[in-house]
Amino acid sequence: MNAPPSALQTAPPSGAPVVGVLALQGDVREHIAALAHAGARAVKVRRPEELEGLDGLVIPGGESTTIDKLARAFGITEPLRAKIRAGFPVYGSCAGMILLADEIADPTQDLSGCPQESFGGLDITVRRNAFGRQRESFETDLDFKEVDQTGGPVHAVFIRGPWVERVGPDVEVLAEVDPSHASHTAALGGRSRIVAVRSGRLLATSFHPEVTGETRIHELFIRMIRGEA
């Protein structure tokens, strides 16, 4: 396992892209550390006006329903949707993947019966908590397209993670969990499950690279922002 995120913080270089982390709930601090290590200047974002001047945004892992409700309460949902439609680069991990999906297979409902919402942008269908609950959390190594392979496979931590059940024609599959190489196989049913996708300037993973010190996913996102990937 790589160094913990707290050990990765470095001063951003001159001209570094400014990347926001949606700081409503979830593992915000870890993403900020990973982005700094990847060469970005990371800032917390909660309100619509804080989206201005950003080169990209990370939606962290956490509770997708809570982030959805707070985003609407803070008035950031519609401005963020508009920016995503206009081509704004966004990376979502775990709950962030759910919030970037155009379709949620099993959305929760509030007390009035209204289903949870997403920001959308990725032509995918996701299933929440697909790998199981907290006690079924697991780790595995993944072959991940578009990252530097000299460091070996990407070590992925799944904590109540979603998986992707459908991808649209413009969505690229970057990584899948192979049942023969996973430590948690009961939920897989003998089938590989999609856990990382990209479409244009949108990137999403089911797992949490920020909690292990795995920074290659954030480095890929920075290259996407710069137009280098």
Q: Which residues are catalytic?
A: 94, 208, 210
Residue 221 predicted with pLDDT over 70: yes
- Say what the pLDDT of residue 148 is: 86
Among candidates 54, 55, 80, which has minimal Cα distance to 67?
A: 80
- Say what the pLDDT of residue 184 is: 61
Give the whole-number percent of the chain exceeding pLDDT 90: 69
Rounded Cα gap, residues 100 and 90, in angstroms: 8
- Say what the pLDDT of residue 187 is: 64
Residues 24, 1: contact at Cβ < 8 Å?
Answer: no
Supply the pTM of this predicted model: 0.90
Tokens (6 digits) for 143: 């072959």
Residue with the larger pLDDT of the pair 126 and 3: 126
Rounded Cα gap, residues 77 and 71, in angstroms: 5
C-alpha angle with apex 173: 170 to 176, nearest 5 degrees?
A: 160
Give me the phi and psi of 158, to 5 degrees please. Answer: -110, 120
Helix (H, G, I), strand (E, B) or coil at 226: helix
According to DSSP, the β-strands at 154-158 and 122-127 are: unpaired
Q: Which residue has the tokens 């948690």?
A: 184
Rounded Cα gap, residues 59 and 57, in angstroms: 7
- Say what the pLDDT of residue 6 is: 44
- In tens, the pLDDT along 160-204 reads 889 999 999 999 999 999 877 666 656 667 789 999 999 999 999
Residues 161, 154: contact at Cβ < 8 Å?
Answer: no
- In tens, the pLDDT along 78-137 reads 999 999 999 999 999 999 999 999 999 988 887 787 888 999 999 999 999 888 777 777
- State which of 3-7, 144-148, 183-187 shows the largest mean pLDDT: 144-148
